[in-house]
Amino acid sequence: MANTSDTILTVENMSVEFPTLTGVTTAVHDVSFTVGREKVGIIGESGSGKSTTGRAIMRLQPPQAIVKANRMQFEDVDLMTASEEEMRSIRGRRIAMILQDPKYSLNPVMTVGEQISETVILHERATRQEARNRTLAMLERVNIRDPERVFDLYPHEVSGGMGQRIMISMMLIAQPSLIIADEPTSALDVTVRQQVLTILDDLVVERNIGLIFISHDLNLVRSFCDRVIIMYAGRVVETITAADLDQAQHPYTRGLLNALPSLDRPKDRLEVLRRDPAWLEN
Amino acid sequence: MTMIKAQHLAVSYGHGDTALKVVKDVSFEAQKGETFGLVGESGCGKSTILGALAGRNKQWTGSIEIEGETIGQKRTRAQLAKQQLVFQDPFGSIHPRHTIGRTLLEPLEIHGKDRRQERIEKVLTDVGLPLKFRYRYPHQLSGGQRQRVAIARALILEPKILLLDEPTSALDVSIQAEILNLLKDLREREKLTYILVSHDLAVVAHLCDRVAIMQSGGFVEIATRQQLLENTVEHPYTRILMDGSRGYVSEKRERNSAALPA
């Protein structure tokens, strides 16, 4: 279990609002959590605000969105008051983000190597040669066998699993202290998913950093993360140690667990989640 | 009674030198009322088998029998109506500018069926949607409701077989449970035979009696539901897929637990 007293990120009462023609929609509602040097999972169904939460931390929300919070502290930086220039030096360097589908998130007209080197060239003003060497070392670290060959490939020439490993190497080359992974393995096949998660797991432990793992897959989060935050309709309904997920108290979490078909506990009919309006109060 | 019997089925795409054999010599059969699963990773040929059974893909060799009748590359309308497809993505498989009623009417027009309004109302009730939904457009429906429409469209021709291509993988867990329950009810009520394609063994074990595990165009093993639940499958690849549906297996933890005396 990671040392949670060593806090990297503190979020207190964060709300994200989207003004629309028919009034203000609150996508995230008074969310508070902390992340230490550990793997924290955020679970929720589509529209529960889990991705919006991840983006708001990096201030990557759409321009019309309004983020309110009592406190958003990342290490020594107050994310509420940081200027756009400060944010630029944080994004990619100190907080990194891994997205769902490497097919859409890599630049299709740049070689893989150029894209990874770009991070160190921009953030650390490294020379091209130095950046190339570090990129090759990083590609090797994510178990790519022939880094010299992969360096000159374009994204369409690599498989989904390799694309996601390239994303991971791009995120980790600048040595961030917090990684936000938004559904990093949902587009991958089971066997490839296992490899990608192993790499991610090893790197988080090796560098002693924090990971926010956003996912809709209960079994995956339960087995991969240390702690789980369960979100429903923009609210945190429960925070629980991943190993104790089966003992979850909130009826929503219980409902999700019971709705899941299982190889270990087969049942004839799956339980259908009944949504209680009372969950929206608090 | 055997509903589907495929023998030495091989399917390819493309012509001449560039022809690619995607499914290589598979044989299976499904009894009436049975659900037969096809599991494997992307590109293994599971959807291609469905395409060949549905009559979408005509480049196949071997033999297919539906309800005891040998099927050729060309089929009559009545033969085509016997099996219907349900696709993965309910956001992409329904015409966005047609009302639900219009979408459900189209198969009836193509196949020249009578009592159209009556049939549309019956099928909407069957899948648990209110009748007024026929006047709605797809964007006014949630993902689960859209998948119900896709199932209704497949059922409206009163098929004997439903070919389900990842019917729940685009849906949330709670909605997936609703659709899986619906499919189970329909199978019993309408005496349907299903072929279910999925990558999730837990979903397959929930619905299927027997499952073929596929890898690069061939079957590595045909396992029964019992074998999956009791964890007595034979092929190592099936085990990998089973571990996958349980979540993440840490190599370190495994190494440690192997090193420690129990």
Reading phi first (left if > 0) and then psi (alpha if -120 to 50, else beta), residue B37 is in: beta
Do residues B174 and A272 lie in contact, with contact meaning Cβ atoms separated by under 8 Å? yes
Residue B183 pLDDT > 70? yes
> CA-to-CA distance for B243 and A223, rounded, in angstroms?
11
Whether A277 maps to a domain, the answer reads: no
Residue B255 pLDDT > 60? no
DSSP class of residue B166 equals: S
Same domain for A115 and A90? no
Same domain for A203 and A80? yes
The overall average pLDDT reported for chain B is 90
Q: Give the count of domains, chain A.
A: 2
Q: Which of B42, B177, B251 sits opposite A259 (nearest CB)?
A: B177
Closest-CA residue of B relative to A187 is: B42
E-strand stretches of chain A: 9-20, 23-35, 39-43, 66-68, 71-74, 77-78, 95-98, 178-182, 210-215, 227-232, 235-241
Closest-CA residue of A relative to B251 is: A198
Q: Which residues of A touch B202 (CB under 8 A)?
A: 260-263
Q: What is the pLDDT of residue A282?
A: 59
Whether B246 maps to a domain, the answer reads: yes
Whether B195 maps to a domain, the answer reads: yes
CA–CA min distance B162, chain A (Å): 20
Same domain for A126 and A68? no
Residue pLDDT, tens place only, B93-112: 999 999 999 999 999 999 99
Q: What is the pLDDT of residue A277?
A: 83
Tell me how many residue pairs between chain A and chain B have CB atoms under 8 A apart. Answer: 94
Same domain for A187 and A63? yes
pLDDT-derived band at B260 (thresholds 50, 70, 90) equals very low
Same domain for A170 and A207? no
Q: What is the pLDDT of residue A139?
A: 93
Interacting residues of A87 by C-beta distance below 8 A, sequence separation 6+: A58, A59, A79
A272 contacts B244? CB cut-off 8 A: no
Q: Which of A222, A263, A266 sits opposite B242 (nearest CB)?
A: A263
Q: Across-strand partners of B163?
A: B85, B195
Closest-CA residue of A relative to B200 is: A190
Q: Which of B203, B229, B244 sits opposite A194 (nearest CB)?
A: B244
Interface of B with A in 40-59 (CB under 8 A): 41-42
A190 contacts B41? CB cut-off 8 A: yes
Q: What is the mean pLDDT of residues B151-161?
A: 95
Answer whether A227 touches B (CB < 8 Å): no
Same domain for A181 and A54? yes
> CA-to-CA distance for B63 and B69, rounded, in angstroms?
11
Tell me which residue range forms the domain holding B87: 32-56+75-259
CA–CA min distance B49, chain A (Å): 19
Same domain for A227 and A209? yes
Which amino acid is it at A216? H
> CA-to-CA distance for A24 and A27, rounded, in angstroms?
9
Domain final position from A175, A193, A214? A175
Q: Which residues of A touch B180 (CB under 8 A)?
A: 261, 270
Answer whether A270 touches B (CB < 8 Å): yes
Give the Cβ contact number of residue A175 at 10 Å.
Answer: 13
Which residue did the predictor score with more confidence, B255 or B96?
Answer: B96
Do residues B14 and B20 lie in contact, with contact meaning Cβ atoms separated by under 8 Å? yes
Answer whether A251 touches B (CB < 8 Å): no
Backbone φ, ψ for residue B236 (5° rounding): -60, -30
pLDDT-derived band at B262 (thresholds 50, 70, 90) equals very low
> CA-to-CA distance for B191 and B51, rounded, in angstroms?
22
Q: Which residues of B touch A200 (CB under 8 A)?
A: none
Residue in A124, A113, A100 with CA at minimum distance from that of residue A185: A100
Q: In the structure encoding, which two tokens stand for residue A129, read together?
A: 């040669």
Closest-CA residue of B relative to A160 is: B42
What is the interface pTM, i.e. ipTM, of the complex? Answer: 0.80
Residues B151-190 as b/e (b if ≥16 CB within 10 A, e otherwise) read bbbbbbbebbbbbbbbbbebbbbbbbbbbbbbbbebbeee
- Percent of chain B at pLDDT > 70 equals 95
Closest-CA residue of A relative to B254 is: A198
Parts of chain A with a pLDDT under 70: 1-5, 282
Tell me which residue range forms the domain holding A209: 1-94+177-250
Interacting residues of A159 by C-beta distance below 8 A, sequence separation 6+: A192
Whether B18 maps to a domain, the answer reads: no
Q: What CATH number has the domain bearing residue B166?
A: 3.40.50.300
Q: Which of A191, A202, A218 sits opposite B173 (nearest CB)?
A: A218
Residues A113-125 as b/e (b if ≥16 CB within 10 A, e otherwise) read bbbbbbbbeebee
Whether B217 maps to a domain, the answer reads: yes
Whether B10 maps to a domain, the answer reads: no
Residue in A30, A34, A25 with CA at minimum distance from that of residue A4: A34
> CA-to-CA distance for A272 and A66, rounded, in angstroms?
35
Q: What is the pLDDT of residue A8?
A: 94
The alpha carbon dihedral of A40, A43, A46, A50 has a sign of negative
